[in-house]
Amino acid sequence: MPDNTREGSSARFVDGGIPAGMLAAVREERPLIHHITNSVTINDCANITICVGAAPVMASAPEEVAEMVAAAGALVLNIGTLSAAQVEAMLIAGRHANDLGIPVVLDPVGAGATAFRTASTRRLLEALDIAVLKGNAGEIGVLAGTGGSVRGVDSAGITADPVATVRECASSTGTVVAMTGETDLVTDGRGVYAVRNGSPLMERLSGTGCMAASITGAFAAVAGDLPVSSAAALAAFGLAGERAEVAARGPYSFRAALFDELAGLTPDDLARHARVEVL
């Protein structure tokens, strides 16, 4: 990882100008983010993509996914409401994205909860060149083989050290791994970024993990350094969550504020308040 850091009181943090520049690039370029995603959160994923400054398209028919992904800046695959037909569409789109050099983000929702989800995730990882694997701690622990637990589609925790887990997952899969939680961790198997922006209310909403994958795809579409772009995306989303918490009366008012705060987030806000630590 490049040394784009500044000194904190007792830690090194990524220079805030770097995530700020990536947010500015998303807003300027407005990349198309092709989603093959789940039916529960599809509208939230589309709207959060617009709020961060990119353009969403939600296309999953096998007959059109290759043509659609050719126009995209990134492809986001989410197995939240999984079917065999959806996996086939993901493989078609993913292979064409790989051929064209378009980054693919995989959100392995519920991997570890059922054999079908786990096997489908591993099939996608083996068949495709996944640029970023974004999951919660339970999902990443299962895929790393270090111990993880998933209840439905929610993380029930991991048994191993989080940093060791995320590193092992990146090394074994050959992908950049972004593991979300109270502190988000991002690694390419070597250095690790800890993203310390966020709000506890983000865990009280269905779909914030799916939305995080959409934002990760938007940042990946405009930046070549995938560990840094993934950390920057999570910092932007987390900062929006911090600001939404201030005015929220509960989970649903927080949800509305989350979209508004991300849409209003400026590169200068991110430069000043992103907290991405280099471990």
Annotated ligand binding at 207? The verdict is yes
Strand pairing report for 276-278 and 192-195:
antiparallel
Pairing of strands 276-278, 104-107: unpaired
Helices marked H in 101-179 = 115-127, 137-144, 162-173
Distance between first and last Cα of the chain: 12
Beta bridge partners of 33: 56, 74
Q: Is 68 annotated as a binding residue?
A: no
Q: Residue 187 annotated as binding?
A: no
149 vs 19, 95, 152, 167, 256, CA distance in Å? 32, 30, 10, 18, 30
- Tell me if residue 200 falls in helix, strand or coil: helix
Residue 22, marked binder: no
Binding residues: 58, 134, 180, 207
Binding residues for ATP: 134, 180
Binding residues for substrate: 58, 207
